[in-house]
Amino acid sequence: MTPLEYFSTLVVSADDGESIPLTEAALALAQDVYPRLDMAAVQSDLDRLAATLKSRIAPDASPVQRLRALNAFFFKELGFAGNRNDYYDPDNSYLNRVLERRRGIPISLAVVYMEIGQQVGLALRGISFPGHFLVKLKVRAGDIFLDPYTGQSLSRDQLEERLGQFFDARGMEVPTELALIPSIQESSPRDILVRMLRNLKGIYHDRKDYERLLAVQNRLVVLLPEAPSERRDRGLVYAQLDCPRAALEDLSHFLAQEPAAPEADEIRRTIAVLRDASGRLN
């Protein structure tokens, strides 16, 4: 079974996106770069960390007490932190390397943090907050929001401030408080995987590393089979890799689904070039 086929078995049957085994699927992303990755060994390391923490928590500990123990263990004892020195290093998105180096970006740190937390009885959920992935825990007193990059708990005012900064930096109108609500909804495992892959997509695109970009794009097509834009983007990567027939298939599919897209004329011109190139292969 190829890495892509294995990934497909994890995600395709989960129609709602909730039943995807997040940690296993997120770890599987690294197989494109680390083909000899021992998935079972990495999962065993995670289980061992969770077991160590669980042994220190009283069975009757409250969720808040468990969260405090997790924070001390994860950020202080284990030393997990954001990779401020090289934020756009692709290894920040691969869980095997995050575990080895104790460094990552918010979303990869969140996946590891949630895996350990869930094993010690915390119903942690990811939040696809604009610009910076967060983790949420529901407690009787309300929701606790945590920044997995720093371990900092965030108040409602701090969330609103971050949201304002995000929109300000992009020259967009700052939403009202009510508009904040959709931004703090829980993310499904599918949503999280898509965000992780799109982070990698941006990195490899900027580096013009088309072979690794294709591997990322293949996974996005598997995760989002109904998204024509992902087929378009894969077709453009195939074109960069001099694979005109594969590019033609994807770009033609895109046009069939989105004939009036803003970029449709440009795609048609690209298809004409690709057809000429494909004809020369015969």
Cα gap 282→141, rounded to integer Å: 68
Q: What is the pLDDT of residue 225?
A: 94
Same domain, 61 and 198: no
% of the chain exceeding 90 in pLDDT: 79
Same domain, 128 and 219: no
* DSSP assignments along 1-37, one per residue: --HHHHHHHHHTT-TTSSSS-HHHHHHHGGGGT-TT-
> Which tokens is 57 given?
């928590």
Q: Which of 187, 203, 232 is the last residue of a domain?
A: 187
End-to-end CA distance of the chain: 31
Report the number of distinct structural domains present in the chain: 2
Residue 168 has pLDDT above 90, yes or no: no
CB 228 within 8 A of CB 258: yes
Q: What is the pLDDT of residue 132?
A: 86
Same domain, 90 and 70: yes
Residue 18 has pLDDT above 70, yes or no: yes
Residue 196 has pLDDT above 80, yes or no: yes
Q: What is the pLDDT of residues 220-249, one digit of tens each?
A: 999 999 999 999 999 999 999 999 999 999
Same domain, 57 and 157: yes
Q: What is the pLDDT of residues 98-131, one digit of tens each?
A: 999 999 999 999 999 999 999 999 999 999 888 7
Averaged pLDDT, 170-196: 76
User: What pTM was computed for the model?
Assistant: 0.92
Check which CATH number belongs to the domain holding 197 and give it.
1.25.40.10
Q: Which of 187, 214, 246 is the last residue of a domain?
A: 187
Domain containing 200: what range?
190-281
Q: Which of 129, 160, 187 is the last residue of a domain?
A: 187
Q: Which helix (H) or strand (E) is 139 found in, with range?
A: strand 134-139
